[in-house]
Chains A and B, each alone.
Chain A
């Protein structure tokens, strides 16, 4: 069955339908990870996006019940060169196509994904549409032009949890799956704002001894403080940080009262709350091979990234310092508040998918909470 991917600027690609039959719009972006499509599919940060995988053969190891970052796929559409109908892996339970159908994700395969990626790289990420019910390119281009852009939209409200919940799952181990950490007495109480949180962040914190309550994105800061947390975590999430005024307010309120650690969207929100601003990157960073320099350790870590917006270094005043930069384009990858216990990174130390080089950041957060407990924040 034919399917077409059309972009708002008039470029289109004819391929074959994959996953659900239907029509969907979103911002067309690309991810350069060669493994980890299942984690990408279930990462809430991709809400509102049509994700193109640069690696041409996707679905090789199928879909298993473990490698998920949330309860469902959140992205709008999925684009691959060739999806694999015969997955091979001891943990695989179904094929990519089946999974996409079950979750109603309209996708396309069989297009020149490299040409698409080069186009996005050249002209920038933009709105697009995948359809297997209307295959007239002109009609689809018109629809793509009319579809809403992600700039200025609050996508977080569409992915955050309805009500607070506890998370007790620890990190994955081969042959063991996810450890259940219920039994150990937790060392730190952490409240995590769910802007679209990836489970592996929670798993990492849990394994390090955190008792985590995940709260909806709009939860007022006062309510969070009432829970008497040792630290507050600001999660990743989809889209533009600027319109999320409620979150920025809450963070401003929390700053200085409790240690704060942010990842990705959480990093952008912390930056804005600290006086900075963000801007939209041409086509973002999405992949598992982005080199980041940690100024403190003077070491390069290979990081997993997924963001379309970035913190403007010039917007940061002397209250915060840049701790990490991206070595590809020198964009801000991490900040630290100079006087208050708060820091954040643009990339994903929880990886999943991606390299584990940045795991130390979770330990930094633990250390920060420990110091705060002891009243030695700036020791």
Chain B
């Protein structure tokens, strides 16, 4: 059946902000869908609240709504746009849930809108545990025994039948939020209650544990003619019990015979047909008992998923793009395979390499959280690597993580000479625990266990990891021991040494790792390899195991004989991507890389992308002319540069990842374009930066550098408390803290950091109650254009990535703005910035302080571009490639008449035990944007988009620090006028009463029950205002914030947040929020 002509306008729902369990893979899938449907001539309407996505660029859809992804907003858009169809299967669980809600509200029926991709029935059948189990029974496919509970009593009845350990999975939650494995009654009680609570339907599944079974996933596609194909099989290295998003996974499946694999395939075909997913991709998870091959199906996602993004990158088969085409009626055999051109999409990719995905965690950001890996996803990103063998791809994947690992470094032995020593009984105990308890570090401990002489069988018994994987790691450790025998007597003239070196590279050893093992430098190793001609070649990802010619230049490196890179002699530019997502470096940087590629391609350059993050748009082979799916290390990048010989390499788009490589690359002769690495260093090096400010006569908070434990105290005394302290060598606000007194400073210096001359600690005066301002600018060396000036809502001291901000500023005086503009221009010219620059200022008492200058693309570039309609990253790429701003016709700021608010989104709910207070260390995973003509409206939209439920009536709980008490009177008065009532802790209540505001008194937690947390839990409170000061008060009020999060009560923990929140609530009470596409805010070419 060809393209459907009965539908003309299609509404695509995006996934909203990046959260754990739902990351930029849905920008990749959504962008593909938008492109595919527009190509087919459909009018595309898009809803997504996430401004950092490519899909929300106004040219990817005809009507782009950056509005909250909620049933109400979706309904409004449906009424306004009257689409013929809604496509809900490409925006993750958020899109699916939102679509289900509007369908159940009767909106789709009323406005005659069809759900395409998956109908309501199949969605419910796949997502509802009971229906799914029933469906599986109908077709004779085993599922783990289980039962559903809606309250604690029901859950107890079920657990008595199933026994321990048991898995608890709340229904309809992202990434298994609120789930876990219970080994005993006590754990069970806690998890059951949290799970029931976390589920929007208050439902949990209690399931027979198949912990220790092997876990597999199959990516399945189906068309309207009932053709079904399997795109990829994925095998988890971590056995069942670790969420697949947190598991190290491998494609294709490695340890299944064909007979066993076909059982999975047959089951998948039956399942997608029985569930009735009409078109598109689905993901099905299976458990297999390693002892007898018994198979159970775990779950099915009737939509494109994180795994399908991985499968697309792993095979070259673009699942989301094909899914979009299938949803409008095409059959698989009517769609061409882009890569081979001569064959069709109705086939099953076969690959001739091994793909390994490794999750990236950020437990260091949440020290109070439990880092054990369970069925609840905790990772924030992932890296993927391709190699011709598992060993090669695994080692490449490890160094792709950018956690300063370049292979299997030892966790137990300090230096290579120790690798052969006997381990102590304490070390043995530690090893056993590390093997038994899944953690992000387990991979490295596996290698140590092998070094320590553990048998494969013993490691298998402890870890449940299939012996095949363990034996491969053992091979790596074996060759490592051979490599070590050459330490101190490297003989490059010996042919057996050349063979060993080649074999080591084929096993995926990095130069860094070899250098460490041999006690030489990375450069020594590289020079040796060049001399011995041990160099990588590049193979193509072609979907077909080389059976057909591949036209898509999508490459990975390996050490073999034939190179398929075939570089062209066109003018070309390499863009270095951002690597795995992490807190502080996410989709925003990928956005910039993608725009760089688009822009340079439009100017006739051949664009070459290097990245290792499978979730992204940048690693879509369609984005740039050539794609190298490679780790972003000096070695791997330089090798690509040597093959491609580009005119320029862009390092300022991928965040800190490529920036860290800039100096070394330039030294190695790589033509870095844009701002020079020296200028970057001038901005990043503390002392050079100070010299720069002095030269320009700009202000900076008083500061000093502590190179020893005692020095910090001296500096703090000199500049006065409070101070901001942080290690000089970390990024993203890691270990950054505001310190109010000498005791805490001592603690910090003692426990948090290890100050030394090589690793000094920076001590800055903390500007209390200052307003923070972010500026993005674009410069060509001669001219400077301000991209946007953003005023933070939360005061300085809260990481800029975690703070809400508005564009244009809402309360800064004109002269201050003018001065900020002047300083920005002066700095850009002095640093000879070519491309983008971001500056953070603090404004206090009319003075402007410089906090930070980053001569690179910043996290706010996509937001500013969406807010102003000026594509900063695209323009900057052109500037870097040699055009001037004059030539581009760019001058002056764009100051919109509407207000855009950016709000951060946090993963606190995934990390029990973690406080939700904001500080200098960034903790948010994503962002949303609210846009409207009035600040209150825009702010309210940003809150709704971030999932905050702003109330329209009810009781507000207030507990604020003394310095905020006077400030809170104004917002409270307005809220009372609007019909809210107040409860407050004694101090606050008294103060309010004294000021003529009626406030009911409620106990603090330590004052006995019923107390404020009880009120939150019982739903008596609709909103929490809680500001604190000092360690004691912070720890006293911790349970308030934590319960607000769990019970989904809106809460504000800063005075400025309270004011903005009040504006938002009042705006919502005044009128219904209106929705409007970007295309109506500003003209789009």
- Contacts A114-B352, A174-B260, A327-B347: A84 and B225 contacting too (C-beta < 8 A)? no
Q: Is B254 within 8 A of A89, CB to CB?
A: no
Q: Is A328 within 8 A of B347, CB to CB?
A: yes
Q: Is A39 within 8 A of B350, CB to CB?
A: no
Interface residues of B in 270-318 (CB under 8 A from A): 290-295
- Contacts A81-B388, A86-B471, A112-B562: A34 and B353 contacting too (C-beta < 8 A)? no
Q: Is B258 within 8 A of A36, CB to CB?
A: yes
- Contacts A117-B545, A327-B333: A174 and B295 contacting too (C-beta < 8 A)? yes
- Contacts A35-B261, A115-B560, A117-B546: A291 and B347 contacting too (C-beta < 8 A)? yes
State how many angstroms separate the Cβ of A341 from the closest Cβ of chain B. Answer: 28
Chain A's closest residue to B545 (CB) is A54
Any chain B CB within 8 A of the CB of A121? yes
State how many angstroms separate the Cβ of A82 from the closest Cβ of chain B. Answer: 6
Q: Is B293 within 8 A of A174, CB to CB?
A: yes
Chain B's closest residue to A84 (CB) is B468
Q: Is A327 within 8 A of B343, CB to CB?
A: yes
Interface of A, helix, strand, loop or mixed by DSSP = loop
Any chain A CB within 8 A of the CB of B803? no
State how many angstroms separate the Cβ of A75 from the closest Cβ of chain B. Answer: 17
Any chain A CB within 8 A of the CB of B406? no
Any chain B CB within 8 A of the CB of A289? yes
Q: Is B547 within 8 A of A121, CB to CB?
A: yes
State how many angstroms separate the Cβ of B103 from the closest Cβ of chain A. Answer: 30
Q: Is A118 within 8 A of B562, CB to CB?
A: yes
Interface of B, helix, strand, loop or mixed by DSSP = loop
State how many angstroms separate the Cβ of A279 from the closest Cβ of chain B. Answer: 19
| Size class of the contact patch on chain B | 35 or more
- Contacts A82-B389, A291-B333, A327-B344: A172 and B259 contacting too (C-beta < 8 A)? yes
State how many angstroms separate the Cβ of B406 from the closest Cβ of chain A. Answer: 23
In the complex, chain A residues whose CB is within 8 Å of the CB of B344? 291, 327-328
Chain A's closest residue to B390 (CB) is A57
Any chain A CB within 8 A of the CB of B561? yes
Chain A's closest residue to B561 (CB) is A112
Q: Is B254 within 8 A of A57, CB to CB?
A: yes
Q: Mark B598-614, 1 if CB is under 8 A from A, else 0.
A: 00000000000000000
In the complex, chain A residues whose CB is within 8 Å of the CB of B292? 90, 174-175
In the complex, chain B residues whose CB is within 8 Å of the CB of A293? 333
Q: Is B353 within 8 A of A35, CB to CB?
A: no
State how many angstroms separate the Cβ of A288 from the closest Cβ of chain B. Answer: 8
Chain B's closest residue to A81 (CB) is B388
State how many angstroms separate the Cβ of B423 from the closest Cβ of chain A. Answer: 24
Any chain B CB within 8 A of the CB of A300? yes
State how many angstroms separate the Cβ of B124 from the closest Cβ of chain A. Answer: 27
Chain B's closest residue to A86 (CB) is B471
Any chain B CB within 8 A of the CB of A319? no
Chain A's closest residue to B347 (CB) is A291
Interface residues of A in 340-359 (CB under 8 A from B): 351-356
In the complex, chain B residues whose CB is within 8 Å of the CB of A55? 252, 350-352, 545
Q: Is B342 within 8 A of A328, CB to CB?
A: yes
Q: State the CA gap A118–B550 with chains docked (Å).
A: 11
In the complex, chain B residues whose CB is within 8 Å of the CB of A113? 352
Any chain B CB within 8 A of the CB of A67? yes
Any chain B CB within 8 A of the CB of A91? yes
State how many angstroms separate the Cβ of B778 from the closest Cβ of chain A. Answer: 44
Q: Is B346 within 8 A of A67, CB to CB?
A: no
Any chain B CB within 8 A of the CB of A72? no
| Cβ-neighbour of B354 out of A57, A299, A354 (below 8 A) | A57
Q: Mark B1045-1061, 1 if CB is under 8 A from A, else 0.
A: 00000000000000000
Chain A's closest residue to B460 (CB) is A88
In the complex, chain A residues whose CB is within 8 Å of the CB of B350? 32-34, 54-55, 287-289
Q: Is A61 within 8 A of B265, CB to CB?
A: no
State how many angstroms separate the Cβ of A118 from the closest Cβ of chain B. Answer: 5
State how many angstroms separate the Cβ of B988 from the closest Cβ of chain A. Answer: 64
Any chain B CB within 8 A of the CB of A271? no
Any chain A CB within 8 A of the CB of B229? yes
Q: Is B352 within 8 A of A117, CB to CB?
A: yes
Q: State the CA gap A57–B227 with chains docked (Å).
A: 30
Q: State the CA gap A291–B347 with chains docked (Å).
A: 5
Chain A's closest residue to B290 (CB) is A90
Q: State the CA gap A175–B293 with chains docked (Å).
A: 8
Chain A's closest residue to B331 (CB) is A300
| Size class of the contact patch on chain A | 35 or more
Q: State the CA gap A91–B290 with chains docked (Å).
A: 10
Interface residues of A in 102-157 (CB under 8 A from B): 112-115, 117-118, 121
Any chain A CB within 8 A of the CB of B951? no
Q: State the CA gap A117–B564 with chains docked (Å).
A: 13
Q: Mark A323-351, 1 if CB is under 8 A from B, else 0.
A: 00001110000000000000000000001
Any chain A CB within 8 A of the CB of B57? no
Any chain B CB within 8 A of the CB of A376? no
In the complex, chain A residues whose CB is within 8 Å of the CB of B290? 90
Q: Is B258 within 8 A of A86, CB to CB?
A: no
| Cβ-neighbour of B255 out of A89, A172, A302 (below 8 A) | A89
Q: Is B548 within 8 A of A328, CB to CB?
A: yes
- Contacts A56-B388, A88-B466: A353 and B258 contacting too (C-beta < 8 A)? yes
| Cβ-neighbour of B257 out of A13, A91, A114, A299 (below 8 A) | A91
State how many angstroms separate the Cβ of A64 from the closest Cβ of chain B. Answer: 7
State how many angstroms separate the Cβ of A6 from the closest Cβ of chain B. Answer: 14
Any chain A CB within 8 A of the CB of B420? no
From B226, B291, B344, B352, name the one whose CB has the most chain A CB atoms within 10 angstroms: B352
Any chain B CB within 8 A of the CB of A60? yes
From A34, A115, A118, name the one whose CB has the most chain B CB atoms within 10 angstroms: A34
- Contacts A112-B561, A115-B560, A121-B546: A54 and B258 contacting too (C-beta < 8 A)? no
- Contacts A81-B389, A89-B257, A327-B343: A32 and B562 contacting too (C-beta < 8 A)? no
State how many angstroms separate the Cβ of A203 from the closest Cβ of chain B. Answer: 12
Any chain A CB within 8 A of the CB of B831? no
Chain A's closest residue to B257 (CB) is A61
| Cβ-neighbour of A351 out of B262, B346, B544 (below 8 A) | B262
Q: Is B258 within 8 A of A39, CB to CB?
A: yes
Q: Is B266 within 8 A of A356, CB to CB?
A: yes
Interface residues of A in 146-192 (CB under 8 A from B): 172, 174-175
Q: Is A291 within 8 A of B255, CB to CB?
A: no
Any chain B CB within 8 A of the CB of A236? no
- Contacts A57-B390, A115-B562, A291-B333: A88 and B468 contacting too (C-beta < 8 A)? yes
State how many angstroms separate the Cβ of B339 from the closest Cβ of chain A. Answer: 13
Q: State the CA gap A38–B258 with chains docked (Å).
A: 9
| Cβ-neighbour of A298 out of B225, B258, B353 (below 8 A) | B225
Q: Mark B318-353, 1 if CB is under 8 A from A, else 0.
A: 000000000000011100000000111011111111
Q: Is A291 within 8 A of B352, CB to CB?
A: no
In the complex, chain A residues whose CB is within 8 Å of the CB of B539? 114
Any chain B CB within 8 A of the CB of A274? no
Any chain A CB within 8 A of the CB of B890? no
Q: State the CA gap A329–B255 with chains docked (Å).
A: 32
In the complex, chain B residues whose CB is within 8 Å of the CB of A67? 257-259
In the complex, chain B residues whose CB is within 8 Å of the CB of A13? 561
Interface residues of A in 50-107 (CB under 8 A from B): 54-57, 60-61, 64, 66-67, 81-82, 84, 86-91
Any chain A CB within 8 A of the CB of B263? yes
Given A39-B258, A61-B255, A287-B350, 4 other A-B contacts at CB below 8 A?
A: A30-B547, A35-B257, A57-B390, A328-B347
Residue pairs across A and B with Cβ atoms less than 8 A apart, 29 shown, are A13-B561, A30-B546, A35-B256, A36-B257, A36-B258, A54-B546, A57-B389, A66-B259, A81-B388, A86-B471, A88-B467, A89-B256, A90-B291, A90-B292, A112-B560, A114-B352, A114-B539, A114-B560, A114-B562, A121-B548, A175-B294, A299-B225, A299-B226, A302-B229, A302-B348, A327-B346, A328-B342, A352-B258, A356-B262
7 tightest CB-CB pairs across the interface, nearest first? A36-B258, A115-B562, A54-B545, A353-B258, A88-B468, A86-B471, A112-B560
Chain A interface (Cβ within 8 Å of chain B)?
Answer: 13, 30, 32-36, 38-39, 54-57, 60-61, 64, 66-67, 81-82, 84, 86-91, 112-115, 117-118, 121, 172, 174-175, 287-291, 293, 298-300, 302, 327-329, 351-356
